[in-house]
Amino acid sequence: MAEQFDAIVVGAGPSGNAAAYTLAKAGLKVLQIERGEYPGSKNVQGAILYAQALEQIIPDFRDDAPLERHIIEQRMWMLDEASFVGTHYRSDDYNKPPYNRYTIIRAQFDKWFSSKVREAGALLICETTVEYLIMDGHRVRGVHCDRMGGDVFADVVILADGVNSTLARKAGFHGELSSKNVALAVKEILFLPEETIQARFNIKEDEGVVIELMGTVTEGMVGTGFLYTNKDSLTIGVGCMLGDFTSNPKKTTPYQLLEKLKRHPSVAPLIEGGEMKEYCAHLIPEGGFNAVPKIYGAGWMIVGDSGGFVNAAHREGSNLAMTTGRLAAETVIAAKAAGKPMNERTLAAYKDALDESFVMKDLKKYRRLPEALESSPQFFTTYPELVNRAAQTLFTVDGVDKMTKQRDVLGSFRSARSLRGLLGDAIKLWRATR
Amino acid sequence: MSEAPKPAARPAGRAGRNTELSEALKAYKGVWVFIEHDRGHVNPVSWELMGEGRKLADKLQVDLAGVLMGGPDEPLDAFSKEAYAYGADRCYFVRDPVLKGYRNEPFTKGLTDLVNKHQPEIMLLGATTMGRDLAGSVATTLGTGLTADCTELNIDGRALAATRPTFGGSLLCTIMTLAYRPQMATIRPRVMQMPRRDDTRQGDAVEMALGLIETDIVTKLIEFIPDANRNTVNLAYADVIVTGGKGLKMADNFKLIWDLARVLGAEVGGTRPVVQAGWLPADRQVGQTGKTVRPKLYIAAGVSGAIQHRVGMEASDVIVAINTDSNAPIFDFAHYGIVGNAMQVLPVLTEAFRSHLDKRIRKVA
Amino acid sequence: MHIVVCIKQVPDSAQIRVHPVTNTIMRQGVPAIVNPYDLFALEEALRLKDRFGGRVTMLCMGPPQAEEALRKCISFGATDAILVTDRAFAGADTLATSYALAAAIRKIGQEQVVDLVFTGKQTIDGDTAQVGPGVAKRLGMNLLTYVSRIAEVDEDARRLKVERRAEGGVQVLDSTLPSLITMLEGTNEMRFASMDDMLRAARFPVRRWNKEDAGIEDVARIGLKGSPTVVSKVFGPTPRSVKADMQVVADSSVNDVTLNLLQKLFTAHPAIEEELVQRLSA
Rounded distance between C-alpha atoms, residue A36 and residue A351, angstroms = 29
Neighboring chain B residues of C134 at a CB cutoff of 8 Å: 136-137, 139-140
pLDDT band per the 50, 70, 90 thresholds, residue C240: low
**Residue B195 has what DSSP assignment?**
P
Which one of C15, C127, C265 makes the best mutation probe of the B interface by having the most chain B beta carbons within 10 Å?
Answer: C127
pLDDT band per the 50, 70, 90 thresholds, residue C8: very high
Question: A150 CB near a chain C CB, below 8 Å?
Answer: yes
Whether a cis peptide bond, with omega within 30° of 0, leads into A59 is: no
Closest residue on chain B to C269 (Cα): B318
Cα dihedral across residues B93, B99, B103, B107: positive or negative: negative
Q: Tell how far CA A341 is from the center of its chain.
A: 33
Q: Over 80: is that where the pLDDT of B283 sits? A: yes
Neighboring chain A residues of C24 at a CB cutoff of 8 Å: 276
Closest residue on chain C to B311 (Cα): C237
Q: What is the pLDDT of residues B76-111, one digit of tens each?
A: 999 999 999 999 999 999 999 999 999 999 999 999
Closest residue on chain C to B324 (Cα): C22
**Residue B194 has what DSSP assignment?**
P
pLDDT above 90 as % of chain C: 73
Q: What is the pLDDT of residues C153-202, one digit of tens each?
A: 999 999 999 999 998 899 999 999 999 999 998 889 999 999 999 999 99
ipTM given for this complex: 0.85
Q: Which subunits count as partners of chain B given 3+ CB pairs below 8 Å?
A: C
pLDDT recorded at residue B360: 87
Which one of C167, C225, C231 makes the best mutation probe of the B interface by having the most chain B beta carbons within 10 Å?
Answer: C167
Strands (E), chain B: 31-34, 37-38, 41-42, 64-70, 90-95, 122-126, 146-147, 152-156, 159-166, 171-177, 183-187, 204-208, 220-226, 240-244, 267-270, 297-301, 318-323, 336-339
CB-nearest partner of C193 from A147, A152, A259 = A147
Are B348 and C249 within 8 A, CB to CB? no
Are C272 and B296 within 8 A, CB to CB? yes
Number of residues that this document lists for chain C: 282
Least confident of A21-35, B153-167, C32-46, C197-211: B153-167
Q: What is the pLDDT of residues C58-72, one digit of tens each?
A: 999 999 999 999 999
pLDDT above 70 as % of chain C: 92
Are C194 and A149 within 8 A, CB to CB? yes
Rounded distance between C-alpha atoms, residue A172 and residue A297, angstroms = 11
pLDDT band per the 50, 70, 90 thresholds, residue C14: very low
pLDDT recorded at residue A260: 92
**Residue B236 has what DSSP assignment?**
G
CB-nearest partner of A149 from C24, C75, C196 = C196
Q: Which contiguous run of DSSP H or E holds residue A118? A: helix A106-119
CA of A415 vs chain C CAs: smallest distance (Å)? 40
Rounded distance between C-alpha atoms, residue B293 and residue B269, angstroms = 10
Tell me what the mean pLDDT of segment C65-86 comes to: 96
- Residue A383, SS3 per DSSP: helix
Smallest CA-to-CA distance from C80 within C140, C193, C4 is with C4
Smallest CA-to-CA distance from C228 within B60, B6, B116 is with B6
Tell me what the mean pLDDT of segment C204-224 comes to: 96
Q: How far is CA B210 from CA B17, B99, B112, B215, C8, in A?
A: 35, 9, 10, 14, 36
Q: Which subunits count as partners of chain C given 3+ CB pairs below 8 Å?
A: A, B
Q: What is the pLDDT of residues B286-308, one digit of tens each?
A: 987 788 898 999 999 999 888 77
CB-nearest partner of C28 from A41, A148, A189 = A189
Closest residue on chain A to C31 (Cα): A38
Q: Which contiguous run of DSSP H or E holds residue C101? A: helix C94-111
- Orientation angle between helical segments A358-365 and A344-356, nearest 10 degrees: 70
Tell me what the mean pLDDT of segment B208-235 comes to: 87
CB-nearest partner of C145 from B133, B139, B310 = B133
Neighboring chain A residues of C192 at a CB cutoff of 8 Å: 147-148
Are C249 and B339 within 8 A, CB to CB? yes
Are C228 and B224 within 8 A, CB to CB? no
Closest residue on chain B to C250 (Cα): B340
Rounded distance between C-alpha atoms, residue B54 and residue C217, angstroms = 41
Question: A64 CB near a chain C CB, below 8 Å?
Answer: no
Tell me what the mean pLDDT of segment B55-68 comes to: 97
Are A37 and C193 within 8 A, CB to CB? no
Q: From first to last of the 434 residues of chain A, give the pLDDT tens digit.
A: 578 999 999 999 999 999 999 999 999 999 999 999 889 877 766 689 999 999 999 999 999 999 999 999 999 999 999 999 999 999 999 999 999 999 998 888 998 999 999 999 999 999 999 999 999 999 999 999 999 999 999 999 999 999 888 898 888 888 888 888 899 999 998 988 999 999 999 999 999 999 999 999 999 899 999 999 999 899 999 999 999 999 999 889 898 899 999 999 999 999 998 887 778 888 899 888 988 989 999 999 999 999 999 988 888 989 999 999 999 999 999 999 999 999 999 999 999 999 999 999 999 999 988 888 888 888 899 999 999 999 999 999 999 999 999 999 999 999 998 888 889 999 988 888 88
pLDDT recorded at residue B126: 97
Q: Which subunits count as partners of chain A given 3+ CB pairs below 8 Å?
A: C
Q: Are A19 and A325 in contact (CB under 8 A)?
A: yes
Are B360 and C171 within 8 A, CB to CB? no
Rounded distance between C-alpha atoms, residue B289 and residue B310, angstroms = 11
CA of C213 vs chain B CAs: smallest distance (Å)? 23
